[in-house]
A and B are shown apart, each in its own frame.
Chain A
Amino acid sequence: MSVRADVISQILQIRGNTKKEFPPLTDDLVLVDSGLDSLAIAILVTRLEDTLGFDPFAEFDDASPPVTLGDFIQCYENAVKLSAVDSRPTV
């Protein structure tokens, strides 16, 4: 499964636990307006950490936190790319 698919799947699972109506999951959807409150976003990050093995926000320092769903997915995709570079064998 791609990182994007993992993120979407986890969001749908968390949303599925409530009876609220939610906007569609597009890249320009603002996270704090997505119907996911702080707690739900925190749960999402934790479950993705269990699935993917890392939390890209644990180290976010002076970088801007993600605002849209697209930014959020990008954070995970960037972390995956970085870890792929780090794990290349040296010659």
Chain B
Amino acid sequence: MKMPSNCLPSIRDQLCKASDSSGRFLWSAAASVSLGDLLRGTSLGGRLPGLLGRSVLLATQDQLAAALALVELDGVAARLIICPPDLPAEHLHSVMARGGVDAVVSDQGLGGPLCVTCSLAITPVKSEQVERRLTEWVLLTSGTTGGAKMLIHDLRSLTAAIDGLNLETDVVWGTFYDIRRFGGLQILLRALLGRGSLVLSSAAESVGDHLLRLGALGATHISGTPSHWRRVLMSPQARAIAPRYIRLSGEIADQAILNSLHSFYPQAAIAHAFASTEAGVGFEVNDGLEGFPASVVSARGKVAIKIENDSLRIRSARTALRYVDGGDQALADKEGFVDTGDIVELRGDRYYFLGRRNGVINVGGLKVYPEEVEGVINRHPEVQMSIVRSRRNSITGSLVSADVVLKGEPDLSSANNQIADLKREILQICRESLAAHKIPATIRCVSVLELAAAGKLARHRA
């Protein structure tokens, strides 16, 4: 296969170099595929050459189908746009237009300029002479007004943090993430390029069944958010797994969850990683303590870290390259640092995470923009104004909580019933318009909301 000399070998090329691919697998709840079979065949029905140099939207229902297509398309497509499983249908056209999509790979018969079906049935194919290129990988994150942010990575930035894993030969990764998001994609790439196998999650599977499957397949390295892990510890099947490595990311890992996991899985090395789609994999903390040592900031290495205006900023080869349509928004400052928006505080010789500068609420690893929820609450005719805040929660890290000012004074003789009815109505409006994690867990009726000097709601951001 021809490949420009400055180009990183594609995933497929790297897998071909490994001699053990036949004994390595990707498992979903319903099927499995040997990497050896995938290298000798195709999940795209022989239509890969037609996707050469195209801007491809990958939109599948099935995670395993997405994983197979990713292996085939890397190094072939000019751009690979990965649809997360919960992308609202109404956003699809905008994503395609912004990404300049001229081909769609899907397992659900989506229409489009050039639609290629991917499936779990691997058909043998003769080695195809395809010129390799460095594919742009586009990952989506939720944006302020519901529109997705589209960030460009390449295999170099996505895998720059993956080193030292190549020596381990019997690794079976498991993840509670979906591989079409940054956290899950990192684990897929670690499994593929680090000589391992991977047990994929399934939205339709119960926690207990997933744990039994992870245990039966001998998962050794398991990754998820602190919320995922709290749920694991509440399952009677928590003992079905015996990981030797536990990785937490996507949310603040507090001391309680780190201690609980250490107590439950004493054999496991436990790491919490700071990573985001924008900033890439920043660093890992392996000392079992929440926060991170202050020495991380001054350390000279592959990742430079600075704290400016209390927020954590990262410069490394692992950050996203740019936004797809980010002419108006720079990803990094002049020195190349990406502002993560995470506010930290130095106590003694350690930094601790306090929350997000822009008020984004992290509910179990999913972002909620307060303004979006307020906009929905304010649709209720009796609501004068509202403010949505993060409320600390021991199960999901944070929850959404709303304070609401009503237009008129409730009738005192029936105030309690009236307010209870109003709260029910507000929640009903929220349920009709918002994803479950964005619906306020609690609503409080207050007489006034504090305004900041500029006349905006005082959000008391971290």
Nearest CB in chain B to that of A60: its residue: B256
Interface-centre pick from A38, A57, A59, A63 (highest chain B CB count, 10 A)? A38
Residue interface bits B219-246, CB-to-A below 8 A is 1, else 0: 0000000010011011110000000000
Known interface pairs A32-B208, A38-B227, A67-B236. Does A17 touch B431 (Cβ–Cβ under 8 Å)?
yes
Known interface pairs A46-B393, A46-B442. Does A62 touch B259 (Cβ–Cβ under 8 Å)?
yes
Within 8 A of A (CB), among B252-274: 255-256, 259-260, 262-264
Cα of A59 to Cα of B255 in the assembled complex, Å: 10
The answer to whether B262 touches A38 (Cβ under 8 A) is no
Indicate whether B396 reaches chain A with its CB closer than 8 angstroms. Answer: yes
The answer to whether A39 touches B236 (Cβ under 8 A) is no
Interface residues on A, range: 20 to 34
Tell me the minimal C-beta distance from A7 to chain B in angstroms: 15
Tell me the minimal C-beta distance from B366 to chain A in angstroms: 9
Indicate whether B441 reaches chain A with its CB closer than 8 angstroms. Answer: yes
The answer to whether B260 touches A65 (Cβ under 8 A) is yes
Cα of A67 to Cα of B193 in the assembled complex, Å: 37
- Where chain B touches its partner, the secondary structure class is helix
Q: B259 — which chain A residues lie within 8 A by C-beta?
A: 61-62
Cα of A63 to Cα of B394 in the assembled complex, Å: 14
Cα of A8 to Cα of B46 in the assembled complex, Å: 57
The answer to whether B431 touches A31 (Cβ under 8 A) is no
Cα of A59 to Cα of B260 in the assembled complex, Å: 11
The answer to whether A65 touches B441 (Cβ under 8 A) is no
Residue interface bits B383-417, CB-to-A below 8 A is 1, else 0: 00000000111111001010000000000000000
The answer to whether B363 touches A39 (Cβ under 8 A) is yes
Q: A57 — which chain B residues lie within 8 A by C-beta?
A: 394-395
Cα of A59 to Cα of B431 in the assembled complex, Å: 31
Q: A17 — which chain B residues lie within 8 A by C-beta?
A: 427, 431
Indicate whether B282 reaches chain A with its CB closer than 8 angstroms. Answer: no
Residue interface bits B419-457, CB-to-A below 8 A is 1, else 0: 000000001000100001100011000000000000000
Cα of A57 to Cα of B234 in the assembled complex, Å: 12
Q: B363 — which chain A residues lie within 8 A by C-beta?
A: 39, 42
Q: A43 — which chain B residues lie within 8 A by C-beta?
A: 399, 441
Within 8 A of B (CB), among A37-65: 38-39, 41-43, 45-47, 50, 55, 57-65
Residue interface bits A53-83, CB-to-B below 8 A is 1, else 0: 0010111111111110000000000000000
Tell me the minimal C-beta distance from A16 to chain B in angstroms: 10
Cα of A39 to Cα of B256 in the assembled complex, Å: 19
Q: B394 — which chain A residues lie within 8 A by C-beta?
A: 42, 45, 55, 57-58, 60
Indicate whether A33 reaches chain B with its CB closer than 8 angstroms. Answer: yes
Tell me the minimal C-beta distance from B432 to chain A in angstroms: 12
Give the contacting residue for B231; candidates A32, A45, A55, A64; CB below 8 A.
A32
22 A–B contacts, CB within 8 A, in A order: A32-B207, A32-B235, A38-B396, A39-B363, A39-B364, A41-B234, A42-B393, A42-B394, A42-B396, A43-B399, A45-B393, A45-B394, A46-B393, A47-B442, A57-B394, A57-B395, A60-B260, A61-B259, A62-B260, A64-B264, A65-B234, A67-B234
Give residues in A with beta carbon < 8 Å to B: 17, 30-33, 38-39, 41-43, 45-47, 50, 55, 57-67
13 further interface pairs, Cβ-Cβ under 8 Å (given A58-B392, A65-B233): A32-B207, A32-B208, A33-B206, A33-B208, A38-B395, A38-B396, A39-B437, A42-B364, A43-B399, A45-B393, A62-B259, A62-B260, A66-B234
Closest 7 CB pairs of A and B: A62-B263, A42-B395, A57-B394, A42-B396, A43-B441, A65-B233, A58-B394
